[in-house]
Structure 1
Amino acid sequence: MKKAFLGFLLLFLITPFLFAQENNAQQEIIELSKTKWQWMAEKDVDKLADLFDDKAVFVHMGGSWGKEREVDIIRSGGIWYKDADIHEVSVEIIDNTAILLNRITLIAEVGGNEVTNPFEVTEVYIKKAEGWKLGSLSFTKLMGPADR
């Protein structure tokens, strides 16, 4: 009976700590994502290359590719992510993986033409020894306005 009581007491005491840790990780990912959008707007490929995992995949309306091509496209101005107006954001943490969903309106310059599109963007982050790394960035174009 004492063991059961102590186990219950320990669970009762540790549960708020576990929730606080998850909330802190969720907020950390939200801030990292916002910073990533800023780096993309500034074409800061050095910081982006450090954030992107070497095995990262990027899915766009025109295709999918890896880290090296994404960095090259940003560096060359093939895609210039001018502004991501974030309407909604959510984060789920599963073990050492964070899945962030952003509902955005993206203003970008693609091949010299400015375009505005509503997207649901999925970002997958993996917790590694050196910190969070972006493992996947995927754009899904929405049929209606992004701010619904």
Structure 2
Amino acid sequence: MKTIHKIAFLMIMSTQLSFAQSSEDQKIMQLSKDKWQWMSDKNVETLAALFDEKSVFVHMGGSWGKQQEIDVIKNGGIWYKKATIHDVSVNIIDNTAIILTKMDLLAVVGGNEVTNPFIVTEVYIKKDGSWKLGSLSFTKTLSPSGK
């Protein structure tokens, strides 16, 4: 009888752990989705709070830190007009979340509207109970599926 109770207890605990993991995955995926909207809306105040002070951004034309990314968004150097997301995966390792997003990004770059298929890598770090964006990198693909 004790064995049955132990098995039941372990099953309940594993279900709760997987649910908690799933909940955290959903939370960080929603944060990523919100970030794309904030970028489209040029909501630099909210983005500045989300981006870690040491964050890095890798684009097709270069890489830079937090302040330059905020300035690029604020001044319209890049307008992340619309992200059409095809697939999102998240992998949480301790206090780090890695999100891979397959998307088509409609952007205005230097006054020209362009659409590119990307796999975007986002790295978030949990600090003082909240997620901060540490890295955002764009990898251009041949198609949205990454093939």
How far apart are the structure 2 equivalents of 1:43 and 1:137?
Answer: 16
Q: Which amino acid aligns with 2:69?
A: E
TM-score, scaled relative to structure 2? 0.91
Name the aligned partner's letter for residue 59 of structure 1: V
Q: 1:146 aligns with which of 128, 138, 144?
A: 144
Aligned to 1:21: 20
CA deviation vs aligned residue, 1:35-89 (integer Å, no higher than 9, x gap) = 0000000000000000001111101001111111100100000000000000001
Aligned counterpart, 1:122: 121
Give 1:27 shift. Answer: 0.5
- Count of paired positions: 145
What is the distance in 2 between the residues matched to 1:147 and 1:8?
42
Q: Which moved more, 1:82-91 or 1:11-20?
A: 11-20
How high is the TM-score relative to the length of structure 1? 0.90
Does structure 1 residue 64 correspond to structure 2 residue 60? no
Counterpart position of 1:91:
90
Unaligned runs of 5+ in 1: none
Supply the RMSD in Å over aligned alpha carbons: 1.8
SS at match of 2:68: helix
Work out the CA distance in 2 between the residues paired with 1:30 and 1:55.
22
Unaligned runs of 5+ in 2: none
2:33 counterpart of 1:53: no
C-alpha distance in 1, partners of 2:105/2:17? Answer: 35
Alpha-carbon separation, structure 2, partners of 1:100 and 1:30:
8
1:29 to partner: Cα distance:
1.0
Alpha-carbon distance in 2 for matches of 1:73, 1:83: 16
Q: Deviations over 1:102-141 (max 9, x none)?
A: 0000000001111110000001111111511111100000
In structure 1, C-alpha distance between the alignment counterparts of 2:18 and 2:69, rounded to whole Å: 35
Structure 1 vs Structure 2: percent identity of aligned residues?
59
